[in-house]
Amino acid sequence: MTITTLPEIAAGADELSIWPASTIPLPHGGLAVGGVSLTDIAERFDTPAYVLDEGEVRERCRAYRDAFPDTTGDVLYAAKAFLSRAMVRWVREEGLGLDVCSAGELELAVTAGFPPERIVLHGNAKSPRDLEVALRLGVGRIVIDSPSEIARIAAVVGPEGRQKVMVRVVPGVSAGGHDKIRTGTDDQKFGLSLTDGGAQHAIAKILSQPQLQL
């Protein structure tokens, strides 16, 4: 990471728009985030360095939570964006749930004190270990991303077990952005489509499995 002065960041009027909201230019050049000089951070910790503003993270958590006051479940923070023990604590204290994609993320979260019942295991390539750890730690919900996962999860749960699951539904909606990163359209690999009946078939199959609770 290279620390640049404000004029070098961008030539347009919104020079700081890609930076955290607490970013300010310093009188003698450079930037500060959350009141801390990025140059000082680079000199102390070397580069590259990840810099997060705890105040802004917490403010954004509250904004999402407040935007959905009537939700029957949790507003989830996606661990794949960035996860550390501190981030786990901030998200927990601000009342959000957690979306994890691997056994590693799940174990980090639980050992850092996050309630497993407020964690959702997501991901389109769950390994046997991911499922085993999720069940052992008591994860709240597992998101089913493909038809083959239904039988796999039911088998791991066992005849006496019961696991809450969700279905990743492809709505067939294009919300803009580059073609290669759209995940709501029918021509991509994630989730189950409403258009071809895949989602409906998966739901019926889940309802026939006594080990799974949709």
User: Of residues 43 and 6, which shows the higher confidence score?
Assistant: 43
Looking at per-residue confidence, does 98 or 15 come out higher? Answer: 98
> Does one domain contain both 17 and 119?
no
Mean pLDDT score of the chain: 87
132 lies in the same domain as 40: no
Residue 55 lies in a domain: no
Range of the domain at 41: 6-45
Q: 52 lies in a domain?
A: no
The reply to whether 204 and 98 lie within a common domain is yes
Residues 25 and 115 in one domain: no
206 and 135 within one domain: yes
pLDDT confidence of residue 29? 86
pLDDT digits (tens, 9 = 90+) for 46-105: 999 989 999 999 999 999 999 998 886 789 999 999 999 999 999 999 999 999 999 999
| Structural domain count of the chain | 2
Written as six digits, the tokens of 24 are: 């300010």
Residues 105 and 149 in one domain: yes
41 lies in the same domain as 73? no
Same domain, 20 and 117: no
176 and 80 in a single domain? The answer is yes
Buried b (16+ CB within 10 A) or exposed e, 157-172: beeeeebebbbbbbee
What CATH number does residue 156 fall under? 3.20.20.10
HEC per residue, the chain: CCCCCHHHHCCCCCCCCCCCCCCEECCCCCEEECCEEHHHHHHHHCCCCCCCCHHHHHHHHHHHHHHCCCCCCCCEEECCCCCCHHHHHHHHHCCCEEEECCHHHHHHHHHCCCCHHHEEECCCCCCHHHHHHHHHHCCCEEEECCCHHHHHHHHHHCCCCCEEEEECEECCCCCCCCHHHCCCCCCCCCCEECCCCHHHHHHHHHHCCCCEEC
When comparing pLDDT for 14 and 27, which is higher?
A: 27
Q: Which of 91, 142, 149 is nearest to 115 (CA)?
A: 91
Pair 200, 110 in one domain = yes
Assess contact for 43 and 64: CB atoms under 8 A: no
Residues 39 and 131 in one domain: no
Structure confidence at residue 13 (pLDDT): 35
Asked whether residue 159 is domain-assigned, the answer is: yes
- Which tens digit of pLDDT belongs to each residue from 124-154? 889 999 999 999 999 999 999 989 999 999 9
Q: How confident is the model at residue 178 (pLDDT cuts 50, 70, 90)?
A: confident
Q: What pLDDT does residue 16 have?
A: 77
Considering the domain architecture, whether residues 39 and 81 belong to the same structural domain is answered as no
